[in-house]
Amino acid sequence: MANAFWCVVEDDRKGYPKKVTAEVLAEARRLSGGTAEAVWLTDSAQPEGLMRLAEWGATKIWLVEHAGLAPYRGEVWAPVLATLVAAQAPKAILGAVTSRQRELLARLAARLGVGFAADTVALAMDGDTLVATRPVYAGKLLSKVTWAKPPWVATLRPNVFKPAEPVAGREPVVERPAVTVPDAMLKLVERREEVSTGLPELSEAELVVSGGRGMKGPEHFVILEHLASVIGAAVGASRAAVDAGWRPHRFQIGQTGRTISPKLYLGFGISGAIQHLAGMRTSKIIVAVNKDPEAPIFKVADYGIVGDLFEVVPALTEEFKKLLAK
Ligand SMILES: Cc1cc2nc3c(=O)[nH]c(=O)nc-3n(C[C@H](O)[C@H](O)[C@H](O)COP(=O)(O)OP(=O)(O)OC[C@H]3O[C@@H](n4cnc5c(N)ncnc54)[C@H](O)[C@@H]3O)c2cc1C
């Protein structure tokens, strides 16, 4: 359908769409005036996953289910998606700022020879044209961009857009288009292991606790993990902590790490370098704890505590425990 807005499904690799897909679908529905279609590339989709997409408002689901799509490889997925786009001519293709989709949609736009608005934080129709707002210069400015020609390709920052409210009873309308899945040129992944921290996933978490060089060593992150487990937060880190080998790279927040927009960000022993701010300054409430009153992070913080994190973290944890026990 030529006027459709497509939402590229981000799944949990177990056959279920993730919450961020509800955010993208809601936006696609709002902008298109109701014609929001999901496009799902996967090796295995669960029937409940399809149901979830319908309940979130997908009027149609383009399902490409093929063993050759796992694990994700951009050079395999992008031509499949481009073939579908060429056949169906949607007006917009929207995805999420996740490690897979930020690559996939950039590749797609390049193949189609159209513009790509990465990391958008707002979308609006101006007459017949889509206008995207996206941070530039590490979040110092917001720029508005539009496209010279359709389809409009964009990724949306997680936790910024309101997710779709599920409406029970909507039945999924599934199309299984015949597409050729190319062979992978490279075998990049030998095996995949799920490492569960028991805490929420960083880019989707509503609460994030983050530690920097001020943590002084990997062994001290346990106090942040304890605080995080009390309030149900994810644990992130600055690049200094990651470069020191204290945390794996997937927990890095910032320009060369994850971009997050939680409801609450708590930063401990993080100075607030511009590259770090680029990944978290759109958090709704920022709390900074630093022993240096001149630390730049206080300029963006809604609340600040000048103090030693090794005293503040345990004290905060105890206070949260008391509050949550009520
Ligand atoms: C191209 C490029 C890309 C980059 N990408 C990223 C990125 O994605 N993410 C990122 O984070 N950085 C990134 N950086 C690095 C960035 O410039 C900073 O070096 C880094 O963010 C600093 O990390 P930090 O705040 O943990 O450490 P520091 O700047 O060393 O700050 C440590 C802070 O801890 C405080 N402190 C120390 N002890 C305590 C204590 N006991 N209690 C309370 N406070 C204490 C200190 O006062 C200080 O403010 C990038 C840099 C470049 C050049």
Band of pLDDT at residue 184, cut at 50, 70 and 90: confident
Q: Which of 175, 193, 217 is the last residue of a domain?
A: 175
Q: How many domains does the chain have?
A: 2
Q: Are 244 and 139 part of one and the same domain?
A: no
Which residues constitute the domain of residue 19? 5-175
Same domain, 26 and 84: yes
The band of 102, judged by pLDDT with boundaries at 50, 70 and 90, is: very high
> Do both 149 and 208 map to the same domain?
no
Q: What is the pTM of this model?
A: 0.84
Dig out the tokens for 35 from the structure: 């014609």
Q: Tell me: pLDDT of 172 over 70.
A: yes
Mean pLDDT, range 73-101, rounded to an integer: 96
Q: Closest residue (by CA) to atom 7 of ligand 1?
A: 254
Which pair of tokens denotes residue 211? 């530690």
Expressed in angstroms and rounded, the spacing between residue 121 Cα and the centre of ligand 1 is 25
Q: Does residue 318 belong to any structural domain of this protein?
A: yes
112 and 54 share a domain? Answer: yes
Task: Flag whether 196 is in a domain.
Answer: no
For 232-269, b/e burial (b = at least 16 CB within 10 A) is ebbbbbbbbbbebebbeeebbbbbebbbbbbebbbbbb
Asked, for residue 189, whether it belongs to a domain, the answer is no
What pLDDT is attached to residue 188? 66
Structure tokens at 62: 């383009």
CATH of the domain at 228: 3.40.50.1220
Same domain as 213, residue 135: no
* Ligand 1 neighbour 308 (Cβ under 6 A): yes
164 and 294 co-located in one domain: no
Distance from residue 252's CA to the centre of ligand 1 (Å): 11
Same domain, 225 and 134: no
Q: Is the CB of 58 under 6 A from ligand 1?
A: no
What CATH number is attached to the domain comprising 122? 3.40.50.620
* Mean pLDDT in residue range 187-215: 85
Same-domain status, 97 and 235: no
CA distance 168 to 296: 47
Q: Is residue 183 part of a domain?
A: no
Rg (CA), the chain: 21
Say how far apart CA 262 and CA 203 lie, in whole Å.
Answer: 8
